């Protein structure tokens, strides 16, 4: 599909008001997206596990209005929130062409996260995807009124992902589960414009895969991902990195089919460290890992060597560590985390999550 296919052409804007509600999860990339072109077009394809427990719940109430400006208010965890408004306004400006009813309504956005606000877990993926899904439900309500044909599920999901991408790139991978690919590539049916459910064969070893998120640093990131992506322009290793990501994705495809966990670990850990290596070798350079991030990585390597476990780690653009492991190792790995890793987390805090099926609409 092309960008033009997502422009909403006819709808009934005489509808006075309504409300929709969605919960949408976070996701964790296995092959990382780092570096983009204009309009949030990724330089390389990425693939992620959709999570289950870490999610954003957003209710969007819309009321017909007269003026032709954007009008919205935001409530975060029950309190009026001004800080989120500039990001949402930018999002609205970027997507207005595709959802032209935006200026015809006043929106009340009520949102909350299931994970603690200052946990260092980025809420942009779950937050932007939840908002995009709410807008798609409104689009559905406004179009159902003028045409008898229903908005097809696959179009709904693609456009929700397309809109979410314009809010925050990785948010486009949060609509569906369990594995989502985003970015054009030879080996999967995917697009630069939106994320799609990975349709290749997936071995039972990856069923119910676990992700325990170790909260090493709950503070604000010193460098935003927007700035980080920009630093890939003119980065001396950029082209090699983009080629490596493409290659890793096609290798992962075979690994998903064969269930080869040792090969999976090599790619996933290398991706995480390469992401951070790109940060350390950009100009200006920066480091988002903390001493405890490295302590944890070394402990994981030691545990794996001693026990032949299939536990591994990945990292986001931050200091927290995502500990990934198969479901059948849950008891052993959770015991290890409690005994040996929890002390490296802020207030010994970690969040147990696992691979999920994607976003859900909530009847209010």
- Positions touching ligand PMV (CB under 6 A) are 29, 32-34, 46, 124, 168-170, 225, 229, 275, 316-317
Return the number of the residue (168 or 292) whose C-beta is nearest ligand PMV: 168
Q: Which of 124, 210 has the CB closer to ligand PMV?
A: 124
Count the neighbouring beta carbons within 10 Å of the beta carbon of residue 293: 22
Partners of 60 in the beta sheet?
A: 20, 109
Cα 49 from chain centre: 9
Residue 361 bridge partners (DSSP) = 22
**Among 193, 239, 210, 229, CA closest to 317:** 229
CB of 223 to ligand PMV, least distance (A): 11
Count of CA atoms in the C-beta half-sphere (13 A) of 212: 26
Residue 286, both tokens: 């920066």
Please report, for residues 202, 258, 317, the alpha-carbon distance to residue 279 in angstroms, rounded to integers and kept in the order given. Answer: 32, 32, 9
Output the smallest distance, CB 318 to ligand PMV, in A: 8
- Report in angstroms how near the CB of residue 48 gets to ligand PMV at its nearest: 6
Least CB distance from residue 41 to ligand PMV, whole Å?
12
Closest contact distance (angstroms) between CB of 205 and ligand PMV is: 23
42/105 with CB nearer ligand PMV? 42
Nearer to ligand PMV, 43 or 104 (CB): 43
Q: What is the DSSP string of 27-74?
A: EEEEE----EEGGGEESS-EEEEEEEEEEEEEEEEEEE-SSSS-EEEE
Q: How far is the CB of 32 from ligand PMV (least distance, A)?
A: 4
Closer of 119 and 143 to ligand PMV (Cβ): 119
Nearer to ligand PMV by C-beta: 36 or 304?
36
> In 10 A of CB 166, how many CB atoms?
22
| Direct distance between the N- and C-terminal alpha carbons of the chain, in angstroms, rounded to an integer | 33
Smallest distance from ligand PMV to CB 108, Å: 26
281 vs 67, 220, 286, CA distance in Å?
A: 49, 22, 8
Local structure of 339: helix, strand or coil: helix
The smaller minimum CB distance to ligand PMV, of residues 61 and 248, is found at 248
């Amino acid at each position: 599909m092309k960008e033009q296919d997502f422009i909403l052409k006819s709808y009934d804007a005489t509808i006075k008001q309504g409300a929709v509600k969605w919960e949408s999860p976070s996701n964790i990339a296995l092959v990382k997206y780092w570096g983009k072109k204009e309009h949030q077009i990724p330089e390389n394809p990425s693939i992620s596990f959709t999570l289950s427990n870490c999610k954003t719940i957003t209710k969007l109430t819309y009321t017909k209005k007269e003026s032709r400006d954007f009008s919205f208010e935001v409530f975060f965890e029950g309190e009026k929130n001004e800080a989120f408004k500039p990001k949402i306004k930018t999002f609205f400006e970027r997507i207005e062409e595709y959802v032209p009813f935006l200026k015809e309504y006043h929106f009340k956005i009520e949102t909350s996260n299931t994970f603690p606000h200052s946990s260092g877990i980025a809420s942009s993926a779950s937050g932007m995807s939840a908002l995009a899904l709410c807008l798609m439900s409104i689009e559905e309500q406004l179009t159902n009124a003028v045409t008898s044909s229903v908005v097809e599920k696959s179009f709904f999901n693609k456009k929700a992902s397309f809109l979410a991408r314009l809010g925050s790139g990785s948010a486009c991978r949060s609509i569906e589960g369990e594995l989502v690919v985003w970015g054009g590539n030879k080996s999967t049916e995917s697009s630069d414009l939106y994320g799609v459910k990975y349709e290749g064969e997936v071995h039972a070893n990856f069923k119910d895969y676990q992700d325990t998120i170790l909260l090493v640093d709950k503070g604000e990131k010193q460098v935003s991902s927007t700035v980080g992506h920009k630093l890939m322009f003119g980065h001396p290793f950029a082209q090699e990195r983009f080629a490596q990501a493409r290659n890793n994705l096609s290798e992962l495809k075979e690994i998903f089919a064969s269930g080869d966990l040792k090969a999976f670990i090599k790619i996933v850990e290398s991706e995480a460290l390469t992401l951070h290596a790109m940060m350390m070798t950009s100009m200006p350079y920066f480091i988002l890992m903390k001493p405890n991030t490295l302590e944890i990585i070394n402990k994981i390597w030691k545990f794996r060597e001693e026990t032949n476990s299939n536990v591994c780690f990945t990292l986001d653009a931050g200091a927290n560590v995502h500990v990934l492991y198969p479901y059948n190792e849950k008891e052993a790995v959770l015991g290890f985390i409690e005994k040996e890793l929890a002390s490296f987390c802020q207030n010994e805090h970690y969040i147990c999550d696992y691979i999920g099926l994607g976003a859900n609409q909530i009847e209010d």
